[in-house]
Amino acid sequence: MSEATATSSSKGKKEAWEWIKALVIALVFAFFIRTFLFAPFIVEGESMEATLHNNERLVVNKAIYYLSKPQRGDIIVFHAEADKDYIKRVIGVAGETVEVRDDELFINGKKVDEPYLAKKREEAKAEGLPLTENFGPIQIPPNHIFVMGDNRQNSRDSRMIGPVDLGTVVGRAEFVFWPIQEGRLTR
């Protein structure tokens, strides 16, 4: 074998090895991001209408709650059942009392404005129905949150399943990325 052929073969092996290393590093990096920082999520169903729509894809920030706890108004993803994740809005946090009277939300006895419900509330009024049936008061236990879907008439949430354990929270919804023309922040 000539010296030129040996050098060419050695150069090819070195280049292949560099590509393999780059691929492994990229895969480890992607795994780290997907496992600990951000994850895609598909909205299934209409429980968050008119804020989020069926089959929209969004990015969930998994790292945010390593540093803080969910706050009222956050849209979160949590493990509701063994093989099912839900996406809902945080309505109340540990230690608070949640109640709905005459289609109005009260936290610790004080009325809370919910501007994100304007469209759904208007639709419900047109049908002669309340958007949210009366319930409560419900005291939220330590290390739990109370969540509801924005489409209150069509949502399986804390009114049925009870307060959500913080240990089941996956992360906070940050933005819709698909369909691309509907891309937007969720906050």
Q: What is the per-residue pLDDT across 85-101, written as a single tens digit (0 to 9) for each?
A: 999 999 999 999 999 99
Contacts of 152 (CB under 8 A, 6+ apart): 117, 120, 131, 132
CATH code of domain 43-185: 2.10.109.10
In the sheet with 104-107, reading across from the earlier edge strand, the strands are: 110-112, 104-107, 97-101, 135-139
pLDDT bin (cut points 50, 70, 90) of residue 7 is low
- Please count the other Cβ atoms lying within 10 Å of the Cβ belonging to residue 161: 13
Three-state SS for 33?
helix
Give catalytic residues, as residue numbers.
47, 88
The pLDDT of 24-33, averaged and rounded, is 73
Q: What is the pLDDT of residue 183?
A: 80
Least-confidence region, from 18-32, 71-85, 169-183 = 18-32
Least confident of 26-35, 50-59, 109-118: 26-35
Contact 129, 172 (CB under 8 A): no
| pLDDT the model gives residue 46 | 92
Nearest-angstrom CA–CA distance, 81 and 160: 13
Q: What band does 34 get if pLDDT is binned at 50, 70 and 90? A: low
The answer to whether residue 6 scores a pLDDT higher than 70 is: no
Residues constituting the chain: 187
Tell me, what's the pLDDT at 97? 98
Phi, psi of 169 (to 5 degrees): -75, 125
